[in-house]
Amino acid sequence: MRDFFIRWIERLRSHERVFALSVSTALMMTGQGMAGPVLPVFARRFGVSLAAVGITVAAFGLARLLLNIPLGSLADRKGRRILLVGGPLVFAVSMVGAGLAGDIVALTVWRFLTGAGSAMYMTGALVYLTDISTPANRGRLIGTNQGALLFGQAIGPGLGGLIADQFGIRAPFFVIAGAGVAATVYGYFRLEETRPQIGRPTSSPEAAGGSPGWRTVLGSRSFLAIALVNFAVFFTRASSNNTLMPLKGVGVLGLTLGEMGLIMTGIALISLALLPVAANISDRHGRVTAIAPSLLGTATALVVVAFSVDVSWFVVGAGVLAVSTAISGPAPAAFAADNAPEAIRGVTLGVFRTAGDLGLLVGPPLLGWIADVGGFTAAFGVNAVLMATVSIVFFTTSRSTRRAAA
């Protein structure tokens, strides 16, 4: 009976902590989403080219790409709170700077710093969730935080556009800064330190993020396989989902922007609705059971979209894509966390996040170039082949790793 109550209290405590983190995540992601529809228009008003606007927007992702791993090492050495509290503060200050920017250079610099604040928070959040979870509940806890992330991303753009219409295009940046300050204060009082053996000095090179730690990460076939999965997922999300599909839907199939927007909203809502199911599959039936079929389903959906010649088949492909991507849910992050050595957990998960951010940067220009040269069918086809190949590689690697462990 005593053991039962101890387990019950520990479970309640973990739920309280993931709720606290999810509130902070919702604040951050709402602010980040608010900048989405406003930033490109604001940058364009400085009289610059579309390419310059693209650079300003991309500065956010570049900061994340460059800083994920160093910040993961910082989490290993100094703890998680420095990222969970400091990240929203950097985010808030940079948003104020962006709102006051007088030229495109200043706006781009502040946008880079906004990405740095986001990288701090998101890296710290994933490590924090790994600390407070176990393999038995990790998918559900990460899924809860992902739900908060999707909620913020869903309501943010509408709020940002409404505030810009009512109070001017600079106003959303200051409101976003307020959300960052709220997340900072909330995190300071509600998010406790979770780094194992915090404050104890250690001479272990792995704990210090030294070369043995890197050899541990890069020598794990399972981890490299899940990093490849994360690259492919973000590659597809940025290029096919968010770039090529709107271009084909509007430019080729004759959809209006409103109709295309409804299709994309539908994809997001399906992902949010299926998130509890996906988290349950990940925890009860294993990460591989969720990830491998999701990748193959995504490849199938991309083929349908590639060869769609009317709106009905395009919508069918979008529906299959929504369900397929939703199946994996939090499973890739949970799989990476399962394979992250405790002493170098921050660095390991920083590498995992960097693989995804690399996909964000590489996907749109590469598939855009393929679409220019060979058309939309070729571009979607290349993406489908990538997803199918990654699914096979991941499934094969996971099976061989389990056999070796047995």
Domains of the chain, CATH where assigned:
2-194 (1.20.1250.20), 214-405 (1.20.1250.20)
pLDDT at residue 209, rounded to an integer? 41
Q: How far apart are CA 190 and CA 184, in angstroms?
A: 10
For residues 279 and 140, is the Cβ–Cβ distance under 8 A? yes
pLDDT at residue 9, rounded to an integer? 46
Cα 154 to chain center, whole Å?
A: 14
CB neighbour list of residue 323: distance below 8 Å, 6 or more residues apart: 270, 274, 297
For residues 243 and 237, is the Cβ–Cβ distance under 8 A? no
- The continuous run of DSSP H or E covering 35 comes out as helix 2-35
Q: Dihedral, CA atoms, 229, 235, 241, 245, nearest 10 degrees?
A: -130
Question: Shortest CA distance to 280 belongs to which of 324, 326, 228, 318?
Answer: 326
Q: Dihedral, CA atoms, 139, 142, 144, 150, nearest 10 degrees?
A: -120
DSSP H helical ranges for 168-256:
171-190, 211-218, 221-236, 245-251
**Angle between helices 287-307 and 376-405 in degrees, nearest 10:** 170
Q: How far apart are CA 21 and CA 27, in angstroms?
A: 10
DSSP, res 310:
S
pLDDT at residue 86, rounded to an integer? 94
Helix/strand/coil for 47: coil
For residues 363 and 235, is the Cβ–Cβ distance under 8 A? yes
Q: Which residues of 315-336 are buried (b: 16+ CB within 10 A; e: fewer)?
A: bebbbbbbbbbbbbbbbbbbbb
Q: What angle do CA 113, 116, 119 make, to 5 degrees?
A: 155
Q: CB 8: neighbour CB atoms within 10 A?
A: 10
Q: How far apart are CA 129 and CA 116, in angstroms?
A: 20
Tens of each residue's pLDDT in the chain, 406 residues: 455 444 444 554 556 778 878 888 888 888 777 777 787 778 888 888 767 777 787 788 888 889 988 998 898 888 889 999 999 999 999 999 999 999 999 999 999 999 899 899 988 888 888 888 888 888 888 888 888 887 887 777 778 878 888 898 899 899 989 988 988 998 888 888 888 764 444 444 444 444 445 566 666 788 899 999 999 998 998 888 877 888 888 888 888 867 877 787 788 788 888 888 888 898 888 899 999 999 999 999 999 999 999 999 999 999 999 899 888 888 998 998 888 887 788 888 888 988 998 988 888 888 888 888 898 999 999 999 999 999 999 999 886 555 444 4
- The continuous run of DSSP H or E covering 256 comes out as none
Torsion region of 255: left, alpha or beta (phi above 0 gives left; psi -120 to 50 gives alpha) = beta
Cα 342 to chain center, whole Å?
A: 22
Question: For the chain, what is the radius of gyration of the CA atoms?
Answer: 21
For residues 80 and 127, is the Cβ–Cβ distance under 8 A? yes
For residues 4 and 123, is the Cβ–Cβ distance under 8 A? no
Rounded to the nearest 5°, which phi and psi values hold at 115?
-60, -35
Give me the residue label for tokens 């399962």. Answer: 338
Tokens found for residue 343: 């002493």
